[in-house]
Amino acid sequence: MRLTKRQLELLRWLDDDQWQRPMDVGGRDGSHHSATLAGLARRGLAERKKYHAIYCCHGTYHAIDKRGNIVKLKRPIKLCKCKGSCRYRRTPAGRAAVSATL
Give the domains, in start order, of the chain with CATH numbers: 5-56+86-101 (1.10.10.10)
* Rounded Cα gap, residues 84 and 9, in angstroms: 24
Decide: pTM greater than 0.75.
no
| pLDDT tens-place string over residues 16-67 | 999 998 989 988 888 889 899 999 999 999 999 887 665 566 656 666 677 7
Pick the most confident of 62-71, 73-82, 84-93. 84-93
pLDDT value for 1: 65
Question: 35 and 86 in contact (C-beta within 8 Å)?
Answer: no
Does the structure show a pLDDT above 90 at 78?
no
Give the helix/strand (H/E) hosting 72: strand 70-72
Which stretch, 27-31, 34-38, 75-79, 98-102, has highest mean pLDDT? 34-38
